[in-house]
Amino acid sequence: MGDVRRRVPRTDVLLVEPRLAAAVAVVGRERVKQAIGRAQQRARRGEIDPGAVVEAAVAELPAGPRVVLNATGVVVHTNLGRAPLSAAAVEAVVAAAGYTDVEFDLVTGGRARRGRDAVEALAAAVPAAGAVHVVNNGAAALVLAATVLASGGEIVVSRGELVEIGDGFRLPDLLVSTGARLREVGTTNRTTLADYAAAVGAGTGFVLKVHPSNFVVSGFTGQVSVRELASLGVPVVVDIGSGLLAPDALLPDEPDAASVLAAGATLVTASGDKLLGGPQAGLLLGAVEVVQRLRRHPLARALRVDKLTLAALAATVGAPVTPVSAALHADVGVLRRRSQGLCAGLVAAGRPAEVVASVAVVGGGGAPGVRLESWAVSVPEQVAGPLRTGSPPVVGRVSRGRLLVDLRCVPVEADRVVLDAVLRAWPVG
């Protein structure tokens, strides 16, 4: 029996095992240590072989989607689940998993407004918003706005802003599906205030301004500001896309909710899991009377978010340093040193890697023209496949016949995990 106990791997050894170390970066050290503790107990009791402790600990961790290390340099990567939640948001989700006061007032014992923590956090972060409502995603926010404010009427929108958002889904189709008609104005590259003014009339539900968050038009261009649109005398709805609540100096062209409302927009719609760095959600911020109508419409019930999302959203807005903001604002010098460390580890093990300057991007989440200066470790392209299918999977970016491993979106505590993963995926010789 004593012999079995001695053969049970120690916690510090298990914490650096690749799969468990990768899990630390995602679900947190405490959660992984609990899983390890339970697996060690089972081994000490003789229920499992000491050699099976790693497997047992992994099995104790949440099943489902596989934890992936994002070494692409694309911060908001739609195919990799967009924004990774902050530790505070993960904790909030775990706490909300049981019975909660999501719609209950503990003081009076009566019903309370659903998700008031999230709503209050958003209202505090954007004082210019009279009221806030949260739905399932950015597309749902637009559908609700179009249904309530323009069903049977017209949405006036520039031809330069009829956007396909991805996977074949197009905003114009989405808007028309609500029963609203689109009144397209202007041209692809230029639209003027006079174009809008000529189209606005008794049948106008609202003027819509959509942020082109996944493309740029350059050259002979012209568009109308929110402030000018607000002078037209009809509601102005602005789909800012990314969910920035306030300006970010790094992204000067990215619209934010506070500025757009201050410029006179009636309503702003946005996603929760792009630059805001929170859970998938759709945010609607704006005039009290309009938001009340949105909240009371029958469709609002169908687009309602669950308590886990509300908990994560409240935590994200309350502590706005998220993995997304950290990756976005990562210090280039630190990224270079981390890349050199990874490269040195590879070279020392006989793999001829090199450190190269690279460019990271925000991704599907916004700021399409912004190039983030970055560094990456360049390895042969053939490593990409084994690295992706290894454990944990590491996804890099293939460029000009090389695989670039960019550490910008990799938690610093997982650098060692990336090194071990590349070594396994790249046999010597």
Ligand X SMILES: *Cc1c(COP(=O)(O)O)cnc(C)c1O
The residue among 119 and 238 lying less far from ligand X, judged by its C-beta, is 238
Among 210, 285, 353, 410, interactor with ligand X by CB under 6 A: 210
The residue among 157 and 210 lying less far from ligand X, judged by its C-beta, is 210
Q: Closest residue (Cβ) to ligand X? A: 138
The residue among 31 and 274 lying less far from ligand X, judged by its C-beta, is 274
The stretch among 136-144, 254-262, 322-330, 336-344 that binds ligand X (CB under 6 A) is 136-144
The residue among 167 and 331 lying less far from ligand X, judged by its C-beta, is 167
The residue among 225 and 231 lying less far from ligand X, judged by its C-beta, is 225
What is the C-alpha to C-alpha distance for residues 54 and 39, in angstroms, rounded to an integer? 8
| Minimum gap (Å) between residue 239 Cβ and ligand X | 5
Binding to ligand X, residues 38-77 (CB under 6 A): none
What is the C-alpha to C-alpha distance for residues 88 and 354, in angstroms, rounded to an integer? 36
What is the C-alpha to C-alpha distance for residues 139 and 169, in angstroms, rounded to an integer? 10
Q: Does 178 bind ligand X (CB under 6 A)?
A: no
Q: Does 345 bind ligand X (CB under 6 A)?
A: no
Q: Does 271 bind ligand X (CB under 6 A)?
A: yes
Q: Does 397 bind ligand X (CB under 6 A)?
A: no
| Minimum gap (Å) between residue 241 Cβ and ligand X | 3
The residue among 3 and 167 lying less far from ligand X, judged by its C-beta, is 167
Among 40, 70, 86, 137, interactor with ligand X by CB under 6 A: 137
Q: Does 267 bind ligand X (CB under 6 A)?
A: no
| Minimum gap (Å) between residue 271 Cβ and ligand X | 3
| Minimum gap (Å) between residue 318 Cβ and ligand X | 21
Among 213, 266, 374, 378, interactor with ligand X by CB under 6 A: 213
Q: Does 144 bind ligand X (CB under 6 A)?
A: no
Among 84, 115, 138, 411, interactor with ligand X by CB under 6 A: 138
Q: Does 256 bind ligand X (CB under 6 A)?
A: no
406 forms bridges with which residues in the sheet?
A: 376
What is the C-alpha to C-alpha distance for residues 391 and 397, in angstroms, rounded to an integer? 18
The stretch among 66-74, 131-139, 259-267, 369-377 that binds ligand X (CB under 6 A) is 131-139
Q: Does 277 bind ligand X (CB under 6 A)?
A: no
| Minimum gap (Å) between residue 368 Cβ and ligand X | 10
Among 68, 121, 165, 199, interactor with ligand X by CB under 6 A: 165
What is the C-alpha to C-alpha distance for residues 225 and 342, in angstroms, rounded to an integer? 46
What is the C-alpha to C-alpha distance for residues 118 and 159, in angstroms, rounded to an integer? 35
Interface mask (CB under 6 A) for ligand X, residues 224-243, using x and -? Answer: ---------------x-x--
What is the C-alpha to C-alpha distance for residues 223 and 226, in angstroms, rounded to an integer? 10
Which residue type does 43 have? A
The residue among 265 and 403 lying less far from ligand X, judged by its C-beta, is 265
How many residues sit close enough to ligand X to count as binding (CB under 6 A)?
Answer: 11
| Minimum gap (Å) between residue 212 Cβ and ligand X | 7
Q: Which residues bind ligand X (CB under 6 A)?
A: 137-139, 165, 210-211, 213, 239, 241, 271, 282
